[in-house]
Amino acid sequence: MSIRVDSELKSQAEKILSQFGMNMTGAVNMFLQQIVRERAVPLSLSLDSSCAVYADLLSAQTDRVQGYVGRSAEEVLADMRILIEKAERNG
């Protein structure tokens, strides 16, 4: 496949893709595969996570308003210790 792309746009895209560990060919193939699979034009990758963080904060706020209390740090740490012990036994 041959496509014409503005050289500055291509250069900027290659810099961002390299931060994802990808090249232009891989990105185009991934894009086309997802179009076929989803039967839509998809794909939203971003190096800027501020939107995702804001959405997570809004979701957490909504959960709290609806009565969700959550877990204590001690409970989370206890679960993490159990998982680490299991991983070390199976390791």
Specify whether 85 is located in the same domain as 55.
yes
Query: Which single residue is written with the structure tokens 């979701």?
Result: 59
What does the alpha-carbon distance between residue 63 and residue 59 come to, in Å, rounded to a whole number? Answer: 6
Dihedral through CA 36, CA 42, CA 45, CA 50, nearest 10? Answer: -160
- pTM here is 0.46
Which residue range(s) make up the domain with 61? 50-90
Do residues 9 and 38 both lie within one domain?
yes
Q: Which of 40-49, 56-65, 74-83 has the highest mean pLDDT?
A: 74-83
Closest CA to 5 of 35, 25, 21, 30: 25
> Is the pLDDT score of 71 beyond 90?
no
Q: Are residues 39 and 7 in the same domain?
A: yes
Task: List the Cα angle 62/65/70 in 5-degree steps.
Answer: 85
pLDDT tops 90 at residue 68: no
The count of domains in the chain is 2
42 and 1 in a common domain:
yes
